Structure 1
Amino acid sequence: MSANAPKNKAAQGPTKAELRAERKAEKQAIKERKKANKKPGAIKQLRQVFTMTKAYDPSIVWRMLLGFLVPVVIGLIVGLLLNNWITWLILGIAVGLLVAVIMLNRRGERAAFAQIEDRPGAAGAALGTLRRGWIVEEEPVAVTPRSRDVVFRAIGRPGVVLVTEGPIGRVRKLVQKQRQFVNRVAPNVPVHVIHVGKGEGQTELHKVVKTMKGYDKTLTKHEVQAVNQRLSSISGQGLPIPKGIDPYRMRPDRKALRGK
């Protein structure tokens, strides 16, 4: 009887204590996943942006302070003149905080672009900040793997915008092919080209979105969708590699090069 007791106990399955421990571990794991997926609050996000921006531009402290104090002083002066300084002071504080946050956001965006500038795919990351009204290809529409020159495409009411990475002279052929493709598939649609960089004839990364928004709007929202469908429906005219493959990790087929 004593020899069979351990076997019978094992055959009965886990004990209540073991089941409670498993449930407790599962609940703890769920809490940890929720905590990891939880987005930081607005104040924490502002703190993170401020820390990053200050490392890039230490003058942001004085800029924000000046942006805050000017509306406060103006509000206080107007309030004293109108004999209602409390209301105008509160209004000035609210406007000052808004101005300071706007300045932080703008400088923070520039700081974020500065961290990825000159890296492959930086132009695509800049296009990812576009708001409504634009359709952006997630992957380059043209690429030269050896030199890492790429062309990204965005479609909006101004038409088709080609954004390049690489020296202007080197990406000229890629741009020309993409321009011919767009003109063939969607004739009469304006094609704009932005060369990202700091050289002559190039646009700095943080100015790409602003430049695109400055173009004249020539298409309607429905025409934007139609142009995108026509360009996307034609296969084999864009990126010369299958989608989902990283062009920067491509390797030549050595057997094909040897003729085998």
Structure 2
Amino acid sequence: MARDKSASPAAPKTKKVRWYHQLWEAFKMTRETDPAITWILLATFVGTLAVGVIAGVLLSSVVYFILLALPFALLATMFVLARRAEAAAYSRIEGQPGAALAALRTIRRGWTFVEEPVAIDPRSQDMVFRGVGRPGVVLVAEGTGNPARLLEAERKRTARVLPSVPVIVLQTGRHEGQVPLPKLPGKLRRLKPQLTKQEVAEVTKRLQALGGARLPVPKGVDPMRVRPDRKGMRGR
């Protein structure tokens, strides 16, 4: 019996997002909160290129140094765009419920975070998020009520289950003693390892029994999206 080809249409191909499309989207997003970004990028490109021109004039090889400075000017411009886009992305979510978890998700490796808050105050919407890595267990609180009280209660609860495991407590915010949201991922990356990989796995299993509160959180900040895709640059 002949197979009816019309009965099983081919699935539509997913359109690839080229690196220049990513740059344009990052630029538009950044411009919404940073109107001066156009002039900043232009000044970066022209300034870097001007250095090459000056060097070429001094060394009597203008064309060579312009060609040499051009890729550096492009790289410098993309670097500035990436940094400004990252700052803009954080400013868009700062103050929203779940912003701390969105920032923590930008840590690519070394840490595992529970997808929901492990503690929450229904009135003030203060929340505590938990992560596990080789430095130990990290508890990150956010909110404008009294997150320190909620954080301390969760620390004691965690310490009862894991008395010999380091528990690091952090609170996001702009006040003294708090960690600003953009600096939170870097803070965790600088913590020194205290556990082996096997111990981390065991700690993760034991913490699963503690559970957590369920609440939707915003999408994670991904500043890497503003950087060019290398496969796209090769035309794949």
Shared fold (TM-score greater than 0.5)?
Answer: yes
Distance change >3 Å, CA 48–CA 247, structure 1 → 2: closer
Residue identity opposite 1:105 in structure 2: A
Instruction: Give the match's secondary structure for 2:100.
Output: helix
Instruction: Give the match's secondary structure for 1:48.
Output: helix
What is the alpha-carbon distance in structure 2 between the residues aligned to residue 41 and residue 24 of structure 1?
33
What is the alpha-carbon distance in structure 1 between the residues aligned to residue 117 and residue 165 of structure 2?
20
Contact 2:111 / 2:132 at 8 angstroms: preserved in 1? Answer: yes
Q: Structure 1 residue 68: deviation in Å?
A: 2.1
1:125 aligns with 2:99: no
32, 51, 66: which one aligns with 1:55: 32
Distance change >3 Å, CA 86–CA 246, structure 1 → 2: same
In structure 2, the gaps of 5 or more residues are 218-236
Q: Structure 1 residue 50: deviation in Å?
A: 0.2
Residue identity opposite 2:53 in structure 1: L
What is the alpha-carbon distance in structure 2 between the residues aligned to residue 116 and residue 108 of structure 1?
13
Instruction: Give the match's secondary structure for 1:155.
Output: strand
42, 45, 59: which one aligns with 2:19: 42
Identity value in percent: 42
Q: Structure 1 residue 156: deviation in Å?
A: 2.6
What is the alpha-carbon distance in structure 1 between the residues aligned to residue 189 and residue 58 of structure 2?
42
Instruction: Give the match's secondary structure for 1:106.
Output: helix
Give the number of the structure whose alpha-carbon radius of gyration is greater: 1
101, 112, 115: which one aligns with 2:92: 115
Residue identity opposite 1:49 in structure 2: A
Contact 1:145 / 1:247 at 8 angstroms: preserved in 2? Answer: no
146, 149, 155: which one aligns with 1:179: 155
Q: What is the match of residue 51 of structure 2?
A: 74
Q: Structure 1 residue 158: deviation in Å?
A: 3.1
Residue identity opposite 1:162 in structure 2: L
Q: What is the match of residue 125 of structure 2?
A: 148
Q: What are the superposed Cα offsets for residues 102-130 of structure 1, whole Å, 9 maximum, x if unpaired?
A: 11112112212222222211111111111
Q: What is the match of residue 70 of structure 2?
A: 93
TM-score of the two chains, using structure 1 as the length reference: 0.70
Distance change >3 Å, CA 39–CA 117, structure 1 → 2: farther
Q: Structure 1 residue 49: deviation in Å?
A: 0.7
What is the alpha-carbon distance in structure 2 between the residues aligned to residue 149 and residue 231 of structure 1?
21
1:160 aligns with 2:137: yes
1:207 aligns with 2:183: yes
Q: What are the superposed Cα offsets for residues 111-156 of structure 1, whole Å, 9 maximum, x if unpaired?
A: 1222222221111111111111121111111122333221111223
Distance change >3 Å, CA 216–CA 25, structure 1 → 2: closer
Structure with the larger RCO, 1 or 2 (CA within 8 Å, 6+ apart): 2
Q: Structure 1 residue 25: deviation in Å?
A: 10
Q: What are the superposed Cα offsets for residues 40-91 of structure 1, whole Å, 9 maximum, x if unpaired?
A: 2111111011011011011212222232233322233334444444343223
Contact 1:165 / 1:195 at 8 angstroms: preserved in 2? Answer: yes
Q: Structure 1 residue 39: deviation in Å?
A: 4.3
What is the alpha-carbon distance in structure 2 between the residues aligned to residue 200 and residue 227 of structure 1?
31
What is the alpha-carbon distance in structure 2 between the residues aligned to residue 159 and residue 61 of structure 1?
43
110, 114, 118: which one aligns with 1:137: 114
1:190 aligns with 2:150: no
What is the alpha-carbon distance in structure 1 between the residues aligned to residue 19 and residue 89 of structure 2?
18
Distance change >3 Å, CA 229–CA 77, structure 1 → 2: farther
Q: Structure 1 residue 186: deviation in Å?
A: 3.4
Instruction: Give the match's secondary structure for 1:194.
Output: strand
In structure 1, the gaps of 5 or more residues are 1-18, 249-260
TM-score of the two chains, using structure 2 as the length reference: 0.76
Q: Structure 1 residue 181: deviation in Å?
A: 3.3
Contact 1:144 / 1:150 at 8 angstroms: preserved in 2? Answer: yes
Q: What are the superposed Cα offsets for residues 216-247 of structure 1, whole Å, 9 maximum, x if unpaired?
A: 44444454334323323xx1x342x5xxx547
Q: What is the match of residue 204 of structure 2?
A: 228
How many corresponding residue pairs?
Answer: 214
What is the alpha-carbon distance in structure 1 between the residues aligned to residue 107 and residue 166 of structure 2?
19
